[in-house]
Amino acid sequence: MMRSVNPVNNEMIREYPEHFPEDITVIIQSVHSAWELWKETSFDYRSRLFRNAALILRDKKNVYARQMTMEMGKLIRESVAEIEKCALVCDYYAEHAEAMLKDEDISSDARRSFVTFQPLGVILAVMPWNFPFWQVFRFAAPSLMAGNAAVLKHASNVPGCALAIEEIFQEAGFPADLFRTLMISSGAVEQVIADSNIAAVTLTGSEKAGSDVASLAGKHIKKTLLELGGSDPFIVLDDADLNAAVKTAVTARMINQGQSCIAAKRFIVTQSVVVHFENEMRNAFASLKTGDPMDPATHVAPLARPDIVDEIERQVNDSIAEGARLVIGGKRSDRPGCYFEPTILADVKRGMRVYHEETFGPVVAIIPVSGEAEAITVANDNEFGLGGCVWTKDLQRGEVVARKVVTGAMFVNGMTKSDPRLSFGGVKKSGYGRELGSIGIKEFVNAKTIWIG
Judge whether 360 and 259 are in contact, CB under 8 Å: yes
- The catalytic position among 71, 82, 166, 227 is 227
Per annotation, catalytic residue among 261, 278, 357, 389: 261
251 half-sphere exposure, CB direction, 13 A CA radius: 10
Q: Are 428 and 446 contacting, i.e. CB atoms less than 8 angstroms apart?
A: no
Q: Which of 402, 301, 314 is nearest to 357 (CA)?
A: 314
Could you tell me if 139 and 93 are in contact, meaning their C-beta atoms sit under 8 angstroms apart?
no
Q: How many CB atoms lie within 10 A of CB 271?
A: 12
Catalytic residue status for 90: no
Beta-carbon contacts of residue 190 (< 8 Å; ≥ 6 apart): 216
Query: What is the C-alpha R_g of the chain?
Result: 23
Whole-number Å distance between alpha carbons of 329 and 365: 12
227 labelled catalytic? yes
Catalytic residues: 227, 261
